[in-house]
Amino acid sequence: MRIARVLVLALLAWLPPTLAAQAHPETVRGRVVSDSGKAVPEAVVTITRAPDRETLTTRTDSTGAFSLTFAEGTGDYLVHVNALGWTPFRRRVTRTGAEAVLPVEVKLTPKPVELAGVTVSGRRERPSRNTGLGTEAGASEQVVDGVTGALSPEQMGDLAAMAATIPGVMAGPGGVSVMGLDPGQNNATLNGMSFSGADIPRDARTWTRFSTSAYDPSRGGFSGAQTSVDLSPGNDFSFRRSHLTLDAPSLQYTDPVSQQLGGRFTGLQLSAGADGALVPGRYVYNAAVQGSHRTTPAASLLDAGADVLRLSGVSPDSAGRFLGLLATAGIPTRAAGIPSARTADNLSVIGRIDHTPNATRTWGVTAYGKLARSEAGSLAATSTPAHGGSSFSGTGMLQGVYSFYHRKNTLNETRSALTYSADRSDPYLLLPEGQVAVSSSFADGTGGISSLAFGGNGGMDSDRRSWTWETTNTTQWYDLGNRHRVKVYAQSRLDG
């Protein structure tokens, strides 16, 4: 028992020096600088201890200094320093005495970055068939996007109403005016060809831009403004659209006088559009149709109220005396088939079929048609019902395009369009027109002078028909550096 106690005491006396020798910490400290002596921050410093290869890693601070401590030092370390743009640094650091801190100075030399050779090649750009959504370079124009102004449902598709939403464009009874020019100085195009229509179905997939000047000399024929409508070709994805608009008089408010003059109306508008593939991969289409009917109350000299007549400058007794004179002279004031209200009916359709629009050679056909009819269009409170008439107008357009790429880089497009328009107005009575100036006195002491119309309506006895055949050919290509686009344009047009 005594011998065991002696052994335990001897073991306890031997263990502390041994443990202290094994737990001797060592610190490797230094500074990373460039070959010119400037500090290199954010350099990665990795120190590996020998012989067990334990590794510690840190980064240099803003002064380039670093410090790593090993809890159990061995006195033999491998220092590795790496920084972006500098040659990696390696050095073995050993303890020469009993010091606990091992200093090391690191100097890095710049390492040029060598990039592998890069070969850049490109193809000569091909002109695109599609004009693209947006404005042309060098042109003064704007896309009608609905951001600067909104339209009521019955105005959707009306080209003049769409253009009037653009700042600087003034709307008038004959169309839109730019910079004070007459609306007759404007023109419209459909897919680049002259377009005599005033509107398109609202559900047709189109985009419209309004131009006051164009850099492209092939776009001409206007000194005021040009409205360009592009009916896009379809694709293999199918889309359907439809709208129904109802206007009921019960939802409208106006005073009794305005009500007799047409301030309240009944309107119905139905439109539908679709685009997609007729034969996937071969034939695509884009089409839309729209129909509308509108009825508006109209007052004539026979049934206008006293307030309406006074607003027109005629007293009821003057109107009655005038009608009595017409009856005495045997001049009819009515005719068979005269409606009691103004009516307007419209039907328009637009469509396009294309054969493989993305192929080297392609062709397409575009058609547009509109029929419009109105009754009692000139009926007013200062005229007899027989002084009115009916009007009819029709517009049809058939357009074809053939497009192909020559040697993959030259685009040639030939377009031809035939347009036919007819406008006819028929008076209700085939009699000469007469007008009488009537002076009236009212009970409040005021008076008025108004012109009363009777008989037929010579201004409505007209029949006008016209046609236009237009053909264009465009050849365009880019130069070898894709810096310039060369375009050769030819046009022929016949009007009759």
Counting beta carbons within 10 angstroms of the beta carbon of residue 137, is it exposed (0 to 12), middle (13 to 18) or buried (19 or more)? exposed
- List the structure tokens of 125: 């750009």
Residues forming a β-bridge with 344: 294, 374
Alpha carbons 48 and 279: distance in angstroms, whole number = 71
Q: What are phi and psi of 332, to 5 degrees?
A: -70, 145
Rounded to whole angstroms, the Cα distance separating 485 from 410 reads 10
* Predicted local distance difference test score (pLDDT) of residue 5: 53
Q: Decide: helix, strand or coil at residue 394.
A: strand
Q: Is residue 97 part of a domain?
A: yes
All residues at 6 or more sequence positions from 52 whose CB lies less than 8 Å from its CB, including other chains: 74
The domain boundary, picked from 108, 123, 152, lies at 108
User: Kind and range of the H or E element at 237?
Assistant: none
Q: Which two tokens stand for residue 79?
A: 């220092």
336 to 287, 331, 432: CA distances (angstroms): 40, 14, 18
Residues 425/461, Cβ–Cβ less than 8 Å: yes
Residue 165 lies in a domain: no
* Residue 116: inside a domain: no
Q: Which residue has the tokens 């439809």?
A: 242
- Can you tell me whether residue 212 is helix, strand or coil? strand
Q: Which three-class secondary structure state does DSSP give residue 155?
A: helix
**Cα 334 to Cα 336: distance, rounded to the nearest angstrom:** 7
Within 8 A by CB and 6+ apart from 374, the residues are: 342, 343, 344, 345, 390, 391
- Gap between the Cα atoms of 450 and 384, Å rounded: 14
Choose the final residue of a domain: 90, 108, 126.
108
Determine the straight-line distance between the first and last CA of the chain, rounded to whole angstroms: 139
Instruction: Count CB neighbours of 482 within 10 A.
Output: 12
Domain count, the chain: 2
The DSSP call for residue 153 is G
Asked, for residue 466, whether it belongs to a domain, the answer is yes
pLDDT value, residue 20 = 42
Spacing of C-alpha 436 from chain mean position: 53
Distance CA 197, CA 349 (A): 11
Same domain as 242, residue 103: no
Please tell me whether the overall predicted TM-score, pTM, comes out greater than 0.85 for this model. Answer: no
Query: What letter does residue 10 receive in the DSSP assignment?
Result: H
Task: Please give the residue range of the domain that contains residue 272.
Answer: 237-495
* Burial call 33-44: b when 16+ CB within 10 Å, e when fewer: bbeeeeebeebb
- How many CA within 13 A on the CB side of residue 74? 14
Burial of 468 (0-12, 13-18, 19+ CB in 10 A): middle
Is residue 164 one of the residues assigned to a domain?
A: no
On the 0-12 / 13-18 / 19+ scale of CB atoms within 10 A, 68 is buried
Instruction: Give the CATH number for residue 77.
Output: 2.60.40.10
In a domain, 93, yes or no: yes
CB 210 within 8 A of CB 160: no
Residue 295 and residue 444 share a domain: yes
Whether 189 maps to a domain, the answer reads: no
In a domain, 69, yes or no: yes
pLDDT at 335: 82
Per-residue pLDDT of the chain (496 residues; tens, 9 = 90+): 455 554 444 444 444 444 444 558 999 999 999 999 999 999 999 999 988 889 999 999 999 999 999 998 888 999 999 998 899 999 999 988 888 899 999 999 998 877 788 888 777 777 887 766 667 776 777 788 777 677 888 888 888 888 888 888 888 877 888 888 888 888 999 998 999 998 999 999 998 888 888 878 888 888 888 889 999 899 889 999 999 999 998 888 888 777 777 778 899 999 999 999 999 989 999 999 999 999 988 888 888 888 888 888 888 888 889 889 888 988 998 888 888 888 999 999 999 999 988 888 999 999 999 999 999 878 888 888 888 889 999 999 999 999 999 887 899 999 999 999 999 999 988 888 888 898 888 878 788 888 898 888 888 889 999 999 999 999 998 887 777 888 999 999 999 9
Tokens of 317: 């007794």
Q: Are residues 490 and 353 in the same domain?
A: yes
From 108, 143, 173, give the residue that closes a domain: 108
